[in-house]
Structures are given as structure tokens and as C-alpha cells.
Amino acid sequence: MCIVCTKEYDQNTNVLHCCMEVTEIPLLPNLTRLNCSYTEVAEIPLLLNLTELYCHHTNVTEIPLLPNLTELYCSNTKVTEIPVLPNLTEIYCSYTKVTVIPLFPKLAFLNCRNTEIKYISDIYININIYSNNEIIYYNDYQLRKLQKNHRKRQFLKIIDMLPMHTNISKYLVLPEMLK
């Protein structure tokens, strides 16, 4: 049994290692390191001081906004996306449904084996990435420019087919409509 099961924790607890019986994480404001791997935990509470989160092999579906998080181990979970976490330096998200890696200014290591991640910003070109997918690096500026030109070409293709005095707004696909 662990201190969660025996309730031997208090508001000053800063490290928590959970045993397999744990199903819920208590809200501990000073917690900096949480290891709830191989438990039945499904939700991570908002722990603002957390710097390390080990939640692999759990039922976790969502990573909350944890502004001080530097290390995230969420492999073998039901996580589908990773929020923008400004201090994140390491991500282990293998065997998840994650498809996109947001821009993390401090990211130095990414393990994304067996995910749907195929495209990664070229700002990560010099970091350690472990993946069994063919990773394609893209330039953010060039990508936006390509998207703009593609929309323009699509519009020019249909404009001549429209009768005069037609309201063309129903033929336009604006970026906000793609979300």
C-alpha cells in the first residue's frame, strides 16, 4: 500500500508514488513529482507545481495544463493530445492516439513510437526523436504560405464556373471552418 491508500499524505507532500490500487489522485498543492503509472487513475488533477508526471499504463485521457511540467510520461494511455506546456523538455507518448506535437520551446527529447504523428515542426530538427513513423519536418511559415496559396488556387478554379451575381460565400472554405 502507498501513502494515498493509507492517507498518510498532507498539503506539504511533494512526491507521490502510487500503488496499483489507486484510482484517484488527491489535490496536493506542493506536489512536484507524481508517479501514478500502472494504476486505474483516469484523471490528473490540476497540480500547478508539478514538474514530473509519470502516468503511463493508466486510463488517463487528458493531460491538464501544468505550467511547470518538464517531463511527461504518458505512454500506453488514452491521451489524444498534449496541451501547450511551456517548460516541457521531455515527452514519452508512445502507444497513444496523439497526432500532433505542439510547439514546445524547451523540448529536447520526444519518444512517439506507435502514434499517428507524421508531421513535426522543423524547430525540432535537432532534438532526439524516437519514432517508427516516417517523420516529415515542416517549416511553419512555409506551411501557412502553402495553405494560403492552395486556398487561392481552389477559389480561382471555381470562380469561373459560378453564374454572375452568385453569392460566393457558400463556396469559400475559410481557415476557421476547418477547425
- Extended beta strands in 36-93, E state: 52-54, 71-73, 90-92
In the chain, where does DSSP find H-type helix? Answer: 140-159
What pLDDT is stored for residue 162 in this prediction? 56
Separation between Cα atoms, residue 24 and residue 77, nearest integer Å? 16
Residue 161 has a pLDDT of 60
C-alpha 7: how far from chain center: 31
Q: Would you state the pLDDT for residue 10?
A: 95
**Grid coordinates given for 27:** 489535490
**CATH code for 1-138?**
3.80.10.10
Query: What was the pLDDT predicted at 147?
Result: 66
In eight-state DSSP terms, residue 166 is -
Task: Give me the pLDDT at residue 135, please.
Answer: 82
Provide the pLDDT for residue 155: 62
Mean pLDDT per block of 10 residues along the chain (179 residues) reads 93 96 96 97 96 97 96 97 95 95 92 90 85 80 68 64 55 54
How many H-runs (helices) and E-runs (strands) does the chain carry? 1, 9
